[in-house]
Structure 1
């Protein structure tokens, strides 16, 4: 079958399935979502009654023809949520230790959870996740198409994988439509487990370990008696610099953890043409990965007369977009530390502070997950890993949303940039603008 006939066949299939006509530009993407929904069902254990015995219905709303405008809006929302979350995690932490999170991982895990929320719980989550005014089909379609097609494997020298999974207690039935959406749009592995079995947490952790290439071996430590569901996102990234650092140029230089405390650290150096931006408060550089530079490592270094605390007071999505737009090609020299760090945080308090408190309480309304039981979020746990060296960067993240059953309803001159003091960094997909990771590096080691 030639390409034209194949494309026409897909569009006819989508018209019969959803009753809408999609432009050819979107037919391939939409068809891949439909195909995965069929294949994804095979991941459910056939001998488990909670999931496999359900006859999965059609989605409540047809897959919409998406526009670039809706994509841009959701990317902006995710980034805005990411900066808000980062700010909450940093509170009381600036200057003390490294912080490194994946806003995309947290947003993805919570987006799946959002599919089961109703009423005031849904409204609270929409406000926290910056999703007000957006309909669920557009949100789900964005994750289905953009995350898999735009972010995954963008370059031969860049590995980027995004995986989702849903682990259900075999003793609890969940709404078939909720489960189907996690498969259709989030390509999630859906499985039943006996949560009373001590091996259940090992099975979940092995999935996380596999999908982060061993960088995050554990996310679930203990399964409580009232635990009914885990929604997990895992992201793995490995990119070689477009211009690798020469290892022979790496040498020990001082890094000032605080103005009065310095330590020797291996520092990598090189000269070249870079996308660069400088303001009165900081220097910033974009170090691209791979052949095409679709993803970059961004470093924002406060100047000597400033510090990270002052920088973070101005770090928000509006300023971020303004700064990114002002980067321009410039010759220069960069010296930065080689470092490796891992980080973990429970996000309950941060998310509650951002407006999601109801979702953790007995008033939570997750009736979209299933009838007959009342559900609430028990814990949102987040773990990350990052290593930056002469070859490039390797990073991973995992986010687990635990659900429990509740008993109640409810050409200038060449610049010189010496990164010898605490700095902010981010890994950004330059095609979509999505921020994959962001961090505060206080003490590289």
Structure 2
């Protein structure tokens, strides 16, 4: 009797879930983080088990193999760099604060910058970005093809990657450096008067436009020695393969790191998912769009573990292993709605990863121009997760300064022991009120 009742409830659930949801349309969005290079898998969206078997791959790596790209070295490099960068960012972050970065955005901005690096500066950047053993042509071609593959993967998933270079009108850069940015990264190259107070607004408006208004400002006041900004912007928007039912969203306790709890809006859902479970965590993949080529991953530490312990095991090797261990499994999830933005200056993290020379007077960016160094790498992100999906954006700015202006000059010595000229001038109007030559001071 109980078995018949359970069977009937299951049948009603499948009819309600798959019959109704197939006719509904949602607008969603998702972020371009390092996870973008790992392709997700579609959830079940049919009421028949046979179609479900064909729609949902056995593991997370199945779809990735079907859509394998020739530039796997670029993907592997981005993932390795991404996890290293995330680890460094966490070291300087409070355990009570959210961290959300887009290593893909940072990697692309630094890859454009890498085109101008030479000598030992190129070597330390290659090591940090995990590009050792790859020639510049292969790197640039790889990023170009990867951009084409990632952008707008299907009708219900929007992904855009935009690049730009903003150069001071009084600075000089090698034409082949600028040409590579245009040819391989489709970068918009613009010359601006950096002394004009409107220069930052022009750059920031470009960022705002290319992140759909989610990131309004990446460049602040332009310093006198600033000569170039290399900027990447990523925006992703799509639909969950199976959206959450808004009417079922309810407040439940959420337990903070401190041990305190708060009531928070949580979204429940039953279904068949890509799932895995270890002694340390549970993990689920929630795909976007019809084909599920991009997916949202949630790794939840077990009660006997914690997020810090999980973060200590976050690296590209473990990530690739975990991606092979997802299996189809029916289950129930309850996911918190959330929205957050994040901002970080990455100078210290990149220096810790080996790029200190690129920020110093020893920097060699002769492939870009003369006497240049990185002044600041700024990164901003936005993410919102709700019943309809996820909307997220990221922008990275690499500021370049002229080291000849940046270096502090040696203290001067001026011994006024011979005839000299002098003047008294009104600085407000520029009027020279007095002037004269003193040949014999009395």
TM-score class, shorter-chain normalisation, is 0.7 to 0.9
> Is 1:77 matched with 2:102?
no
Aligned equivalent of 2:192: 193
Q: Tell me the equivalent position of 1:405.
A: 402
Match of 2:273 in 1: 274
Aligned with residue 380 of structure 1, among 372, 377, 397: 377
Distance 1:230 1:388 in 2: 31
Count of equivalent residues: 340
| 1:346 counterpart residue number | 345
Give, in angstroms, the shift of residue 362 of structure 1: 0.2
CA contact (8 A) 1:168 1:229 kept: yes
Between the aligned partners of 2:358 and 2:70, the Cα distance in structure 1 is 26
Q: CA deviation at 1:111?
A: 0.1
* Superposition RMSD in Å: 1.3
C-alpha distance in 2 between matches for 1:94 and 1:308: 13
**8 A Cα contact 1:379 1:402, kept in partner:** yes
| CA distance in 2: counterparts of 1:246 and 1:138, whole angstroms | 46
Aligned to 2:152: 153
1:389-419: per-residue Cα shift (whole Å, max 9, x none)? 0000000000000000012899xxxxxxxxx
What secondary structure, in the 3-state scheme, does the structure 1 residue paired with 2:140 have? helix
Instruction: Please give the alpha-carbon distance, in whole angstroms, between the structure 2 residues aligned to 1:345 and 1:338.
Output: 23
Could you say what secondary structure the match of 1:258 adopts?
A: coil
Q: Is the 1:374–1:406 contact (alpha carbons within 8 Å) kept by the matching residues of 2?
A: yes
Q: Which runs of 5+ in 2 are unaligned?
A: 1-67, 408-442
Given the alignment of the two structures, is residue 256 of structure 1 paired with residue 255 of structure 2, yes or no? yes
Q: Which runs of 5+ in 1 are unaligned?
A: 1-67, 411-445
SS at match of 2:111: helix
| Structural mapping, 1:206-221, within 5 Å | 206-221=205-220
Whether the 8 Å CA contact 2:96–2:257 is kept in 1: the answer is no
| Equivalences for residues 128-143 of structure 1 within 5 A | 128-143=128-143
Give runs of aligned pairs for residues 230-245 of structure 1, distance below 5 A.
230-245=229-244
Deviations 1:362-387 (A, max 9, x none): 000000002xx300000000000000
CA deviation map 1:168-226 (0-9, x unaligned): 00101110100000000000000000000000000000000000000000000110000
Structure-2 separation of matches of 1:263 and 1:272: 27
Partners of 1:297 and 1:335 in 2: how far apart?
14
Q: What does residue 117 of structure 1 align with?
A: 117
Residue 97 of structure 1 pairs with residue 97 of structure 2: yes
Q: Per-residue deviation at 1:156?
A: 1.2
Which residue is 1:178 aligned to? 177
